[in-house]
Structure 1
Amino acid sequence: MDHWEKIVSVEKDLIEANEELATENKDFFKNKGIRAIEFLGNIGSGKTSLIAKVIEQIKKKYKIAVINGDIAGDPTDIERLGVYTLQINTGGECHLDAKYIRPFVDKIPPETNLCFIENVGNLICPFEFPLGCEHRVVVVGLTDGPYIIKKHPVTFRIATVAVINKLDLKEFLDNDPDKLVEDCKSVNPKAAVVLTSAKTGDGIQELVKALNL
């Protein structure tokens, strides 16, 4: 086995090990009565703002925890909404994985029945490493450009829900949201596609429905 074959073999082993741990996490969430939802997307796509808007809509219905992953940073302003928040500073890792989040999942309050996990801002690394969540929500903003979905088809194939955010900037950008919807449907016909503006609140109710919340 040459050098590159060894690298591929190690990567395959890591992915398979993560799949097993993700299944364990999924069973853990189920046994604890926790619905877990992962948000993925580039830095600046609006993941945190969308999670906050969804929480505002549903916080009277659920006991919510939020786990936020980032390479570095401070706790987000989601805390102001009165939900339990944990910050994971990965220190350079470009994604969370099933093993990484487990100690943090164990810390969430026992009364929790809904957990949002925001992955590190990245559309490439996280898709191969599921965390064990019920939904994987992939978020892009209109500011990400007209080819963002075509350039990341594999990422969008793992989405249960795809969100096209920042509709409030539509008139300022040469990027047709309807074309992005079409691109997403061509890559993953099974995914629900939702158009939103985290700034104005447009589409948030539709996102809540797509997540069956």
Structure 2
Amino acid sequence: MKVKLKENVLKDLTMAANFNRKVFKDHKTLVINVMSSPGAGKTTLLEETVKSLGNDYSIAVIEGDLATDRDAERMRSLGIKTVQINTVGGCHLDARMIAKTLPEFDFHDIDLLFIENIGNLVCPSGYDLGQDYKVVVLSVPEGNDKIPKYPVMFRRTDVTIINKIDLLPYLPFDIEEAKKDLASIHPKAEFKQLSALTGEGMDEWIQWIKDAYQKCIKP
């Protein structure tokens, strides 16, 4: 069953976010909005997540980029329904953009929807897309200063993932300092560390998604 949109739903961001949320809730689809700086490893993380969960869950992806569909093609190569949004210069996705893609999905057959947001640690955090959770990916090469320098992003996000921990022996990144910085900004946030490339720490992330899905489908 396809979702039908009415034009007036798209006139206001809050209305559009609430519309999206109702669609997701009605179909018991868990929606995770993934944010990060460019190059932090969002797409690789999603690829490995799909490989881990794809046999047990029906997964779809919305890809946000300024231009090209390169990341979307990576997801499609895994057999995943993927819709590309190109903002042509816009620094974030908003709820109206998401709402316009919904008719392309059959939510009766989607358990998990990942939204890969534009690479940016500023704008995306301020926009409600109707998601269940916001996740931010911070990579080891970016350094320890990003959490205190971009507090709004980390304050508004449910889960912070430190990616590329396979590089810890080679770069001056302090995991404990990152934990303390996050705790000072958002004490209730989940903190996870992993390497999407090597698979280290991925089990905890995958289990978190499974637990979140169980909460999503409960009446």
TM-score of the aligned structures, taking structure 1 as reference length: 0.88
Distance in 2, matches of 1:201 and 1:105, equals: 32
Q: In the TM superposition, what is the alpha-carbon distance from 1:181 to its structure 2 partner?
A: 1.7
- 1:169 corresponds, among 167, 170, 180, to 167
The match for 1:194 is 192
Partner of 1:184: 182
Q: Which residue of 1 aligns with 2:86?
A: 89
Question: Residue 98 of structure 1 corresponds to which residue in structure 2?
Answer: 95
1:145, distance to aligned residue in structure 2 (A): 1.3
Identity of aligned residues (%): 38
> Is the Cα contact below 8 Å between 2:85 and 2:97 reproduced in 1?
no
- 5+ residue gaps, structure 1, are 1-16
Partner SS state of residue 73, structure 1: coil
Say if 1:192 and 1:210, in contact at 8 Å, map to a contact too: no
- What SS does structure 2 have at the residue aligned with 1:172? coil
Q: Which residue of 1 aligns with 2:45?
A: 50
Which of 54, 61, 64 aligns to 1:59? It is: 54
Determine the structure 1 residue equivalent to 2:76.
79
What secondary structure, in the 3-state scheme, does the structure 1 residue paired with 2:153 have? helix
CA RMSD of aligned residues (A): 1.3
Match among 29, 32, 52 for residue 34 of structure 1 = 29
Match for 1:119 among 101, 117, 120?
117
| CA apart distance, 1:34 | 1.2
Deviation of the 1:158 alpha carbon: 1.1
Deviant stretches of 4+, over 6 Å = none
CA distance in 1 between counterparts of 2:100 and 2:57 reads: 22
Question: Is contact 1:64–1:83 with CA below 8 Å preserved after alignment?
Answer: yes
Q: Could you tell me how far 1:75 is from its partner in structure 2?
A: 3.6
SS at match of 2:21: helix
Q: What is the CA distance between 1:122 and its match in structure 2?
A: 0.4
1:204 aligned partner, one-letter code: M
Show the counterpart of 1:7.
none
Letter aligned with residue 34 of structure 2: F
Separation of aligned partners in 1, 2:160 and 2:103: 28
2:76 is matched by which residue type in structure 1? E
Per-residue displacement from partner, 1:7-66 (whole Å, max 9, x unpaired)?
xxxxxxxxxx42332122111101122111110000001111111111111111111111
2:23 and 2:91 map into 1 onto residues whose CA distance is 25
TM-score, normalised relative to structure 2: 0.86
| 3-state SS of paired residue (1:120) | strand
